[in-house]
Structure formats: C-alpha cells, structure tokens
Amino acid sequence: MSASSAFNDEKGGSSSVGEPEYGHDPASGGIFSSDYKRHDDLKEMLDSNKDSLKLEAMKRIVAMIARGKNASDLFPAVVKNVACKNIEVKKLVYVYLVRYAEEQQDLALLSISTFQRGLKDPNQLIRASALRVLSSIRVTIIVPIMMLAIKEAASDMSPYVRKTAAHAIPKLYSLDPEQKDQLIEVIEKLLADKTTLVAGSVVMAFEEVCPERIDLIHKNYRKLCNLLIDVEEWGQVVIINMLTRYARTQFLNPNINESLLEEGGGGEKTFYGSDEEEDEDEEEKEKKAEAAVMAKRKPYVMDPDHRLLLRNTKPLLQSRNAAVVMAVAQLYFHLAPKAEVGVIAKALVRLLRSHRFTQFTYLFSHLYVSQGMFEPYLKSFYIRSTDPTQIKVLKLEVLTNLANETNISTILREFQTYIKSMDKDFVAATIQAIGRCATNIGEVRDTCLNGLVQLLSNRDELVVAESVVVIKKLLQMQPEKHSDIIKHMAKLTDNIQVPMARASILWLIGEYCEHVPKIAPDVLRKMAKSFTNEEDIVKLQIINLAAKLYLTNSKQTKLLTQYVLNLAKYDQNYDIRDRARFIRQLIVPTEKSGALSKYAKKLFLALKPAPVLESPFKDRDHFQLGSLSHLLNAKAGGYQELPDWPEAAPDPLRVPEWTKCSSREKRKEKKVEKPFYSDSEGESGPTESADSESDSASGSESASGSEESGSGSESEESEEGSESEEEEEEEEEEKDKKKKKKEIKKPVQESESALKNYELLHRITGEGLSVEYCFSRQPFSPDGNMVAVQMQFTNNATSDTKNLHMEDVKLQSGMRVKEFPEIELLPAGETATAVMGIDFCDSTQAANFQLCTHTRKFFVSIQPPVGELMRPVFLTENEFKKEQGQLMGMNEITERLTLDVKCRNEHAIVQRVTTAANLSRVPCGSDKECRFAGKTVTSGSLVLVTVATKEEGAAQLTVNCEKMVIGTMLVKDILLALTQ
C-alpha cells in the first residue's frame, strides 16, 4: 500500500481495526484511531519526495500533540525533514522539535548542525525559526552554541531575527544563570536598536534578566519614550510597566507639597536656574528681599524627561487593546501630578461602555485618590441585567466610592431598583452598599436606615437577613434614637430563620436591653424554648443575652438564665459548653468565684465601638495598581515592588542641560557634549521637540507643571533663529520673571491679611479654657495633603491647665488628622499656640474630636469653609486662558451679581475674593477683570475664578473647577463676599 492510499484509507473513517476517536477535522485531531500501529504510514509520508505528503503528515503529527497524544516515536523521521526546502513543512518540524527536543536530547544534538546552518539561511523566517528551536532545547551542553547564536542574531539585518534573539535571552538565562554578564551585553546592544519591532521584546528580556541594571535604560530612555507609540501592543504594555518603575527611581514626586517643592533653601541655586541670574549685579537688594519671600514658595518644576514620558503615553489611552489602556492608567496614577490623573477617566469609561470592563471596573474601585474624576460618568457604572455577578459587585463598589452629598439621592434610587433583582448575591451586596453609604454620609443615615427597615417585611428571607445584619451595624452608631427599630426587629425572631440574622437580632437586644426593658425578657423566654433546635451561632447569642439580662434585670430573668445555662451545659458543641461554664462562674457569685465576678457588668455591658463599614477592596495601595498582586491582595510570584519616590534626584548628571544658554557659544558647547540620554540615534525630530518643550518647562510659565507649555513653540523658533533673536527673547523672559515676582508678592500679603479666627471652645463651656483656631494658609510640612490649622489656647481660669491634648478623633471616610503636640502646662492667664493638620479630602465635612485636659474632656468640631481647602497656584495669563478653555461646559459655573457699594474697585474685589478663598491673583491685561487660581489641597483639582465688572456695579462671576461640588460651594461663598 502506498503512503497516499494509506492516508486516504485512514481519512475515510471506517476500518476493521478500530473506529476513529473523533470527527474528521484534521486540525482537531479527529483522524486518529486508538490503534497506534496505524500511524506507521506517517513515516512513509515523511520519507516521501512530495512536499504535499510531508505537509499532511506534519499537520497530523502536530494535531496529535495538540490532543495530548505521544508522538515521540516519530522523532527520527521528523528530524530528517528539518532541512526541507518547503517553508511550511520546516515550520511544523520546528514546532515538533520544540516539544520533544528535551526528551530526545541525543537525537536533538545530532541536528544542531542543521539548526546552525538554518541561522545562515537567506530567509529571515528560517533564521528566526532556527534560533527559536535552538533556544528551546533545554540541554546544558549546547549553552555556548546558543550564546553564539544569540549574539549573531542580535546583529542580524532583519529586525524580526533580532526580536527572536531578544526572546531567546530569557530562555538561555533560565537554563544557565551564569551567562548573565554576557547576556547583559547583548541586552545593552539590543536596547540601542532603533526599530519598534525589537523594543518590546528586549525590554521584556531586560525585565527577566537584569531589572536592577537601571543604568542600561538611561541613555535609551528618550528613544523608548518616542518609539512607544509605534511599538506593538504587548510590547507597549511591557515598556510602560518598566518605565513606571524607572520613573519612580529617577524623578521627584510631582505631588510634593502639591505645588511647592521646598520650604527653605532660597539661597541655593536651582538646577534649572538661568546662568544669567548670577551675572546680574543690578537690583541685588531687591532680589535678596524677594528671595526671603520666594524661599518658602519655590515652585516645583517637573523634570523634562518626566514630562516626556507622560506626554508620549497619553495618546495610548485611545488604544484598542485594553491592557495598554490599563498600563497607561496605572502609569498616570503612580507618576502624574494629581491634577492630571483625570485624563485617564474618559478612556477608562470608554472601555467600560464597550463591555471590556472586567479589569477596568476593578481598577475603578481602587482609584480612591482620584474619585472626583469619575463623577461626571456616574451613569456609566449603573448595573445592567446582563452583567455577571462579579461585575455587578464591582460596579456597586464604584458607585459607593463616588457617592457624596450631591449625588447620594440618585444613587439610593438606583439601589432601590437593584434590591428587586433575582440575583440574591447581588441583592445582598446592594444592601451592604447602602450600609456603607449611610456610614460615609451622615445626612442620609436615617433615610437608609428607614429603607432597610422596610426591607424587613420582604418575602425573601435572604434579603431580610442581610438587612438585619446591616441595620445592626448602623444602630450601633446611635442606638438611643432608634429603640422603635429594635422593638420591630425583636418581633421578627418568630419569622426569620437565617442563623446570622437571628444572632444579630439577639446581640442587638442584649446590647441595648436597657432601651427595651419590657421586650428583652420575653425574647429570652421564646429563645429558651427553642434553644436545643437553634444553630450554634444563635445559641451563643442566647447565652450572651441571658447573661446581660441577668446583670440588668435579675428579678425577671434569673430562672430563665439558669435554665439556658443548664441546657448549654450538656450541648454537643464544646464551644457552647465552655461559654456556659465561663458565664456561670462570672455572673452567678459563689464561694469559688474569682475576682472577675466583681467586674461582670463592666465586661458584658462595656460600650462597644461602632463598626466601620469598609470596602473589601481597601488597604491594597501597597501593591502596584493593576498588577496580579493587587488583584489578589497578596504578593504573587515574580512581583516587583514599586519603588518609592527619591527624596532628591539620584544623579544630577543624569539630566542634560535643558536650560537656555546666555550665548550661542555655550549652546554649541552643550550640543557637542554627548548627553546622558541618547537622542534616538539620529532620529532628531522627537528629541528636538522634547528639548524645546523642556526649555519652556524651565521658564516662568511652567511653574505650575502644566502638561503643555505655552512657550514651547517660541523656544523652538528661538533655537532655529539668529543670535539677536535669542538675546531679545532672553531679555523678554527676564522681564517676565521680574514682573511675575512682583505680582507674587501681592497675593501673599493679601492672603496673610485674610485670616479669620473661629471659636472652637468658649471660655464658659470650657470652664475657663477658651480656644480659637484659624486656617493659616501655610503648607503643613509633615503632610502636603493636609490643611494647617493654627489653634490658640487661652487659660482664663485662676488655676493651671495641664496635659492639653486630643482624643477620640471621629472622621468621615478618607479623612486624616495629624494631632498637635501635647501642651503639658498652660498657666493661669497665659496663652499658647499649636498647629495641627487635617486632610479633609476636599470636602467640608467636620473633623470631630475631644479636647482633653488633666480633668475634663470637651467635644469640639472643626468644619472648614470651602475656600480653605485650596492653596494658591501661580499662573501666567496664557496658562490661565488655556486651563480655562479645558474646563468648560459642565466644569463651569457663571453667576450675575451686583457688587456691594464698597466693593466696586479692583483692590476691594481682590481683597474680598482672597479672604473668601485661598487663591492667588493671576495677571490680566484688562482693567475690568480680576482672575484668581488655586488647587484643592488633597486632590490637586484646579480652581479658576474670574470676576468681570460692568457698568453701575454689575458683575459676572465665573468659576471653572474640576470638582463641581467644590465649584458650587465656592460660588456661594464668593457671591456672599462680593454682595455684602
């Protein structure tokens, strides 16, 4: 029988030897019989002179491998065809060899010479395939041959072969780690490659072999940034992740003190400072005076290479690949100034709407720092009936995080719809979300509680049970106000059968039995009847209820308690028996009772702290956003920690001179010197644009760290222009600097005079101790995200006050407090000051705490005006117009008003606006407009205010704000300041 006829007979499907196992699709492996003797014809087909038969045989063999069949006995016949001239056959032979070369090491070594010849083949596909097979043979003896092949392939003319060489590097490294030094040399060579096809693969090899050799990235950093847009998608993901870690080690934190990098050191020359400032001898006295003011207000100037990375990754937010968008999102989250993180919102929501939302919804639920940027897209997170349960739960998490005083009513109406769902797990998650909303937003706590109480009449037992558990947690916050609800829940013990719900009701009744003195004993009576039939968790709460009632109402419950303890004494569960034995000795005094019985009431009836309903996704910030470890909330194998920001730039020489030279000769000298970063090896276009934009970043207009400098095009023209044009431009910049410094002085003085004192504790209430506080509008040095609150303590009493300190701080979710140092002694008639820091999370929620002395405790509260949640930002007129143009539409609020009679001149308007809000004055060419700018302390959201005056006291107030809630409150305060 010929090979062809044998093949045709087998494909026919019927045979006396055995029936085919599967269908007749060769790709699915459906042509194989359980009798392996029938595969002998494959050897004949492989020995045939016809390429068509060889191709059919290799397809069958590869299909066998795909179905898990053992084809190792065909190794000799397959290896013979490694030199076949047919490319399709050779590709399948290579696939086979990759699978079985390690098992058949002796035979594979015999074909090494063939692979080496393949490395010299004119066809780039053959060269790449030969290297791929060679690097896949896990035999230590051929390591030198593999190393030589990788080195030669790294210099190949074909970028596809060089890409394959980059893929082979991690394989060789895992086989023989001692080759690391030689492999690093190859990686260094491939990193200098100018083609986009190689970039992603060599960065992957770098991450596998030597991620600690960050010096290899220095000179290729700009090239990688500029090539990134054209790299294939998975290479983009690898490069972005690598550059994220690189930037965290080489650049300073852009959010240090938000807009102010340093508080002192005004006498030191900045790295980006102009050389001309040293040579100028005029106005030295004025400079010294200004230096004292500017020392504390030194603006942060972003490193041009840091800006280059952010600028070149931003277009990738439009990528069709979800992983690329995710990588850019985590890069911006970890590297960008907080004011710029919002650019990722639109791209992420776009992917959410296109149903590629599993990972992205999870990512949304972790963006606590930048919650505000998703508020305009609230409806995009509404749940659809077609969403899987996992996605529904994640969307609920997002909606809960986005809930605030403004949109909570809308979100609660949406939750009411979700409760009617047939998905019980989803309904339970919705009820828990309602509970978290009630905890985070005090204004709707009663509304949520009443809604949950209504659910107690639901026919679904699981809904009722979950509602009981959440209500229990909410009632712990204010039990004395809700005794009616506790009574209502007590009546449900006859109907609710879910153990957790029954246990929660019993715990609630026992904990607050004094609020329901008539109902609690009756509940115990009913529970005692059914004690033996209850679940263990319910039995434990019955015992606890009996113990608490015995201590508070022993006349009615003494016998019931003894009955319950006797039943528990013989229970099958040893936990219940131990609990009963312990409680009996504790609450029932006997001769053998220990000293603890005296403190039974304090043990059982002690005040329990109210539970904090926290998100299950909280406390994952120590893992890199979007990583597998972040998803699992546990360190996965191979996870690399995201480095912390350096306190100072690691190597000043790493950054080439980007600032302008005072003469053309200096500029030429700097161009001759080879910079630390390469200029993309001849590709000067992207580098020149980067240089020009960095020049503008070092000028006065880039002090706010905006993404695109308005003077970028001007700097490009100046580099191409003549020497005279350069000198004129430099003179203009010096004038702008002087002008801006003068303008800075005025807002500083105005903000200092705008401080307003608030009363924290009256001397009568404080029994002689009075406390006032003000928002000092100075950076709080321990934490740049906190507002500095200056407190003044006055002892009006006749005796000394000791140990002034804070206790029992109660804050809304996300808020933080840095307590003021304890004042050990405040003599009678004396005054002391202290400073504390509060992170209000850009909200006007109050910070509540106890102000304690050595004898008393006073409950006090600090609630900030919205204007104190900001810090000034110094913008030029062009920058103001540009930012205002980006904050139009929904981010703009306009109101018409009539100015107060005393407020119809520029000085009065500026004074009242800066008193109402901690904003800085922005230069304006028009006499009829006053402009102000600032950023919120926590999130860095930009706030722009314009007051345009008209005839007869009429004016128009415009507020552009990234956070509409902030903008709305700010409009009200400024309107009040200008009209009264």
Residue written as tokens 């903008």?
Answer: 967
Tell me, yes or no, whether 45 lies in a domain. Answer: yes
Q: Say whether both 774 and 923 belong to one domain.
A: no
How far apart, in Å, do the first and last CA atoms of the chain sit? 108
Q: Say whether both 115 and 226 belong to one domain.
A: yes
Domain of 909 in residue numbering reads as 868-978
The residue out of 864, 881, 915 marking a domain boundary is 864
Nearest to 409 by CA among 378, 383, 380, 432: 378
Identify residue 668 by its one-letter amino acid code. K
Q: Is the dihedral of CA 869, 875, 878, 883 positive or negative?
A: negative
Mean pLDDT split into 10-residue runs, the chain, 980 residues: 42 37 43 50 84 89 87 82 82 82 72 81 85 83 90 93 94 92 94 92 94 89 92 93 91 70 38 40 52 50 88 90 87 86 80 60 49 75 82 83 84 87 86 86 82 77 80 76 77 80 85 84 90 91 91 86 90 91 81 69 77 61 67 69 75 45 42 49 38 38 38 38 46 52 40 71 86 90 88 90 90 88 90 92 89 89 92 89 85 88 88 91 87 91 92 89 85 88
Q: Where are the beta strands (DSSP E) in 389-515?
A: none
List Cα–Cα distances, 382 to 352, 367, 417, in angstroms. Answer: 11, 18, 11
Measured distance CA(470)–CA(451) in Å, rounded = 11
Give the Cβ contact number of residue 413 at 10 Å.
Answer: 9
Q: Coil, helix or strand for 806?
A: strand
Helix (DSSP H) and strand (DSSP E) numbers for the chain: 41, 17
> Which residue blocks in 804-956 are alpha helix, DSSP H?
877-886, 906-916
Distant-in-sequence contacts of 573-578, Cβ < 8 A, 24+ apart: 573/536, 573/539, 575/536, 575/540, 576/536, 576/539, 576/540, 576/543
- What DSSP character marks residue 877? H
List Cα–Cα distances, 838 to 137, 431, 930, in angstroms. Answer: 62, 32, 31
Residue written as tokens 């804050």?
Answer: 811
pLDDT score recorded for residue 190: 95
Tell me, yes or no, whether 6 lies in a domain. Answer: no
* Contact assessment for residue 619 and residue 404, using Cβ atoms and an 8 Å cutoff: no
Tell me, yes or no, whether 474 lies in a domain. Answer: no
Query: How many structural domains are present in the chain?
Result: 3
CATH of the domain at 958: 3.30.310.10
Tell me, yes or no, whether 512 lies in a domain. Answer: no
Q: Say whether both 853 and 967 belong to one domain.
A: no
pLDDT score recorded for residue 17: 35
Q: Say whether both 110 and 131 belong to one domain.
A: yes
With left for phi above 0 and alpha for psi between -120 and 50, is residue 265 left, alpha or beta?
left
Residue written as tokens 């590869």?
Answer: 62
Distant-in-sequence contacts of 351-357, Cβ < 8 A, 24+ apart: 351/322, 351/325, 352/380, 352/381, 353/380, 356/322, 357/391
* Contact assessment for residue 79 and residue 96, using Cβ atoms and an 8 Å cutoff: no
Tell me, yes or no, whether 690 lies in a domain. Answer: no
pLDDT score recorded for residue 109: 72
Q: Which two tokens stand for residue 950?
A: 């008209």
Measured distance CA(720)–CA(893) in Å, rounded = 43
Q: Is the dihedral of CA 57, 60, 62, 68 positive or negative?
A: negative
Measured distance CA(659)–CA(700) in Å, rounded = 12
Q: Coil, helix or strand for 821?
A: coil
Q: Say whether both 905 and 936 belong to one domain.
A: yes
Q: Say whether both 851 and 892 belong to one domain.
A: no
Tell me, yes or no, whether 681 lies in a domain. Answer: no
Query: For the chain, what is the radius of gyration of the CA atoms?
Result: 37
Q: Say whether both 149 and 233 belong to one domain.
A: yes
Q: Say whether both 768 and 892 belong to one domain.
A: no
| Percent helix, strand and coil across the chain, each to the nearest 5 | 55, 10, 30
Q: Say whether both 119 and 139 belong to one domain.
A: yes
Tell me, yes or no, whether 825 lies in a domain. Answer: yes
Q: Coil, helix or strand for 322?
A: helix
Q: Which two tokens stand for residue 709?
A: 């400098």
Q: Which two tokens stand for residue 475?
A: 């009632």
Sheet of 758-761, strand order: 758-761, 769-779, 787-795, 831-839, 816-818
Q: Say whether both 111 and 189 belong to one domain.
A: yes
Q: Which two tokens stand for residue 462?
A: 């699981």
List all residues 6 or more positions away from 165 whose beta carbon is below 8 Å from its beta carbon: 131, 150, 153, 154, 156, 186, 190
Measured distance CA(363)–CA(371) in Å, rounded = 12
Q: Say whether both 175 and 125 belong to one domain.
A: yes
User: pTM above the 0.85 mark?
Assistant: no
CATH of the domain at 836: 2.60.40.1150
DSSP string, 427-447: HHHHHHHHHHHHHH-GGGHHH
Tell me, yes or no, whether 798 lies in a domain. Answer: yes
Q: Say whether both 129 and 55 belong to one domain.
A: yes
pLDDT score recorded for residue 235: 93
- What DSSP character marks residue 37? G
Rounded to 5 degrees, φ, ψ at 545 are: -60, -45
List Cα–Cα distances, 971 to 310, 386, 968, in angstroms. Answer: 33, 42, 5
The residue out of 200, 223, 250 marking a domain boundary is 250
Question: Bridge partners of 862?
Answer: 847
The residue out of 221, 250, 279 marking a domain boundary is 250
Distant-in-sequence contacts of 942-946, Cβ < 8 A, 24+ apart: 942/339, 942/873, 942/883, 942/887, 943/870, 943/917, 943/919, 943/967, 943/970, 944/880, 944/883, 944/884, 944/887, 945/913, 945/917, 945/919, 945/970, 945/974, 946/884
